[in-house]
Amino acid sequence: MSQFKFMPHGEFSVATEGRILVVRTVGPWNEELINLYSRTVAENVETLAGAPWALLGVISDEGLHTPDSFSATVETVRKHRTRGRIASAIILQHVSAREIVRSMFSRLYTEAGEPFAFFEEEQSACGWLSEKLTEAITQKKRESE
């Protein structure tokens, strides 16, 4: 018997580049995919935990969440913030209903308490994340002195 109520819908890949977790997704996603994503990302989060880290999300095709996957994603971001996640940069590629998707992700990250910004290309997104990481590392050093 399958461990899923439904088969996962959507695709993702996960990699780390320094202190940045790079997640590339092709949507739409359902709760089953978000749960699979959460378990896969957890391994990478464990290697990054203990010091500030950030997420670069590259979202392709359909970027809409089902209501249950939206809530699951908010909870995942909140959990990651307790493990050192400090910001997210989002790139929307070939996304239909771009402003709706942008609004949904804005609401998601706001609800999760995550600083975020949207970018058109990866170089700018990684530059912004590097600035945020430098600020967080500097702040952490000040707090420990």
Give the domain extent around 58: 11-144
pTM of structure: 0.85
Half-sphere exposure of 118 (CA within 13 A, CB side): 13
Number of domains in the chain: 1
Cβ pair 119, 88 in contact under 8 A: no
Give the alpha-carbon dihedral of 126, 131, 134, 136, to 10 degrees: -100
Q: Are strands 20-29 and 11-17 parallel, antiparallel or unpaired?
A: antiparallel
DSSP state of 97: T
Q: Which of 27-36, 108-117, 130-139 has the lowest mean pLDDT?
A: 27-36
Residue 6 inside a domain? The answer is no
Question: Nearest-5° angle of CA 68, CA 116, CA 24?
Answer: 65
- In this predicted model, what pLDDT tens digit does every residue of 54-101 receive, in sequence order? 999 999 887 666 666 778 789 889 999 999 999 999 999 988 888 988
Cβ pair 35, 72 in contact under 8 A: yes
Which of residues 41 and 116 earns the better pLDDT score? 116
Question: Span 32-50, mean pLDDT?
Answer: 85
| Mean residue pLDDT across the chain | 88
Residue 4 inside a domain? The answer is no
Q: Which of 5-14, 19-28, 47-56, 135-144 has the lowest mean pLDDT?
A: 5-14
Residue 2 inside a domain? The answer is no
Residue 140 inside a domain? The answer is yes
DSSP state of 49: T
Residue 55 inside a domain? The answer is yes
pLDDT (0 to 100) of residue 1:
41
Across the beta sheet with 20-29, the strand order is 11-17, 20-29, 53-65, 85-93, 116-119
Residue 93 inside a domain? The answer is yes
Question: Residue 72: which CATH number?
Answer: 3.30.750.24
Tokens of 2: 């399958």
pLDDT (0 to 100) of residue 10:
77
Q: Which residues contact 142 (CB under 8 A, 6 or more apart)?
A: none
